[in-house]
Amino acid sequence: MSRQSFVYGAFILLLASLCNRLIGFVYQILMIRLIRPEGVGLFNMVYPIYVLVLVLATAGIPVAIAKLMAEEVARGNLRGAYRVFSIAFWCIVASSLFFTLVLMLGAPLLQKYVFPNPKVYYCFLSLVPGIIIVSLCSAFRGFFQGLQQMTPTAVTQVVEQLVRVIAGLGIAWFMLPRGIEYAAMGISLGVVLGEFVGFLFMLAIYFKKRPFLSPFAVYCPEPALKVTGRIFDLAVPVTLTRFVSTAFLSVDAMLIPRRLQAAGMTINEATGVYGQFVGIAESLLFTPSIVTISLATALVPAISDALAQNDLSLVRGRTEEALRLTMLAGLPATAVFFLLPRELCHAIFGYADAGVALGTLALGGPFLYLQQTTTGILQGLGRAERPLRNLIIASAFKVAGIYYLTAIPTLGIRGTALSLCAAYIIMSLLNYRDLKKIIALRVDFGYCLGKPLVATAGMAVVMWYVRNFMLGSDDLSRAGLLIVLFLGAATYLLLLFLSGGVHSHDLRRLASFLGWRR
């Protein structure tokens, strides 16, 4: 398999992420209407714990595989790349088996002391088999990402999402008559089934598409202990970063419902409001992440490859390009979420009240997207300890904000949203400061930020005018919402072209991608 360019690899992941997001939107809509926000809240109380154990089980090794294999391939040492993968794979096997056992033995203690609602127990147990499956699949994804081949990751993600949606909704519908907690368990089983089928597809791709290794190549094998040391030198800070991130998400899942109760809600009301927050408001806010997460994934091997060639100018160029694409996608989405939060939540999910949280979260949207992109760049630079430190600082502010602001009856879930915004702003600025220090980054703000910002401002004015003076300000219909969004998007694209925010080479690159030419 030939290598793919950084932007082409990100584009492949973007297409897969877009497909997954569309499927996910349908999934979220049907899931919320089927098991209601209370069921979504139950599932999201245990899912962060599951992700936390996954982080420990994979131990950051897939990122290390991608980075170290990219370095070996850049040196023309394919056999060395395979050796890195082999050693890393068996480390993941051992780790995933260990943490699966720990999770099974510790489940009763989690139910007794950790979960804020006792109905989540069977939902949680249903997720346990996914630990081994996802861990092994992530190793193979790291393998292909290290070769700068993003297509296998994209294909398996789409397959995984399709099976997850069909199986999850089907089992939840079948189990719903037994109670909302059993329907939530069906969603968990769908997650595991999707991951299993995705893993089978990844295995098939690996055995069919892996690069041929010549038996006649001269090779002096690096000692296994030295290779293992290289793997964990990168994997440990990556693991710590993800561990801290998911640990704080787990804290959020336990803390937010309890602080909502402190604001005067019952346990069922708090579970429902929390379900609206994570299942609706955050789902919409994370929509532009189809761009930023694709960029972050593709940036790790791309930046590593540039560093292996000692080409610092290429590193800066790829960094600036990633920041520009982040702003091009993130700023207009933020404007939509800020101006039309209730309308979006009502039209898509049927719960307009979730727009209260979405409108507040939109204030931190651009910083969230920058945080994701800059974290991928720092990991590609081999400086994963920097986003770890920044995450700890930002999360400390977030947890403190959730604890104090969410319990204020006049704020409630808006206090939670404000706390998350503060965390996004702090971490993105700290990440950017680190990039300036490490690679002497000098961003052309007029090109990367100014032109997208001007286009977004014009888009917002048009949307606001059409919303309030042409269509009326009360009870905007779905058709009216589509008109506002269409006119806003057209204005944004027009202003980008007029201001030079999009160039002819961007269009040529897009046409090349759509024609599968590089």
φ, ψ for residue 455, nearest 5 deg: -65, -40
Separation CA 357–CA 338 (nearest Å) = 10
At 173 the pLDDT is 92
Residue at a domain's end among 408, 424, 443: 443
Q: Which residue has the higher pLDDT, 7 or 22?
A: 22
State which residues form the domain around 251. 6-212+224-443
Helices marked H in 114-150: 121-127, 130-146
Separation CA 236–CA 64 (nearest Å) = 9
At 259 the pLDDT is 92
Number of domains in the chain: 2
Residue 500's pLDDT band, with cuts at 50, 70 and 90, is: confident
Same domain, 35 and 105: yes
362 within domain boundaries: yes
Same domain, 367 and 505: no
Same domain, 434 and 451: no
Single out the residue of 330, 362, 359, 329 nearest to residue 343, CA to CA.
359
Single out the residue of 72, 199, 208 nearest to residue 140, CA to CA.
199
CB within 8 Å of 429: residues ≥ 6 apart: 367
Separation CA 291–CA 243 (nearest Å) = 23
Residue 517's pLDDT band, with cuts at 50, 70 and 90, is: very low
Single out the residue of 446, 448, 308, 447 nearest to residue 374, CA to CA.
448
Same domain, 289 and 421: yes
Q: What is the mean pLDDT of the chain?
A: 81
Same domain, 334 and 265: yes
Same domain, 171 and 204: yes
CB within 8 Å of 343: residues ≥ 6 apart: 352, 355, 476, 481
Q: Which residue matches tokens 């070996």?
A: 72
Same domain, 273 and 400: yes
Residue at a domain's end among 393, 416, 443: 443
The CA-to-CA distance between both ends of the chain, in Å, stands at 14
Separation CA 502–CA 423 (nearest Å) = 31
217 within domain boundaries: no
401 within domain boundaries: yes
Same domain, 468 and 417: no
Q: What is the CA radius of gyration of the chain?
A: 23
At 181 the pLDDT is 84
Q: Residue 254: is its pLDDT beyond 80?
A: yes
218 within domain boundaries: no
278 within domain boundaries: yes
Separation CA 361–CA 281 (nearest Å) = 8
Separation CA 51–CA 43 (nearest Å) = 12
At 218 the pLDDT is 47
Residue 515's pLDDT band, with cuts at 50, 70 and 90, is: very low
Give tens-digit pLDDT for 45-75: 888 888 888 888 887 788 788 878 877 777 7
Same domain, 499 and 387: no
Residue type, 497: F
Q: Which residue has the higher pLDDT, 41 or 502?
A: 41
Residue 198 near residue 163 (C-beta atoms within 8 A): yes
219 within domain boundaries: no
Q: How many CA atoms lie less than 13 Å away from 279 in the CB half-sphere?
A: 33
Single out the residue of 346, 342, 339 nearest to residue 492, CA to CA.
339
1 within domain boundaries: no
Residue type, 195: E
Q: Residue 513: is its pLDDT beyond 50?
A: no
Residue 143's pLDDT band, with cuts at 50, 70 and 90, is: confident
Please tell me whether residue 407 adopts helix, strand or coil conformation.
Answer: coil
- Its pTM stands at 0.69
Residue 88 near residue 69 (C-beta atoms within 8 A): no
Residue 336's pLDDT band, with cuts at 50, 70 and 90, is: very high
Q: Residue 352: is its pLDDT beyond 60?
A: yes
Same domain, 164 and 300: yes
Residue 247 near residue 50 (C-beta atoms within 8 A): no
φ, ψ for residue 32, nearest 5 deg: -65, -40
Question: H or E element: which one contains 280?
Answer: none
At 486 the pLDDT is 92
185 within domain boundaries: yes
Separation CA 119–CA 275 (nearest Å) = 14
Residue at a domain's end among 422, 443, 464: 443
Separation CA 375–CA 383 (nearest Å) = 9
Same domain, 401 and 480: no
Same domain, 505 and 414: no
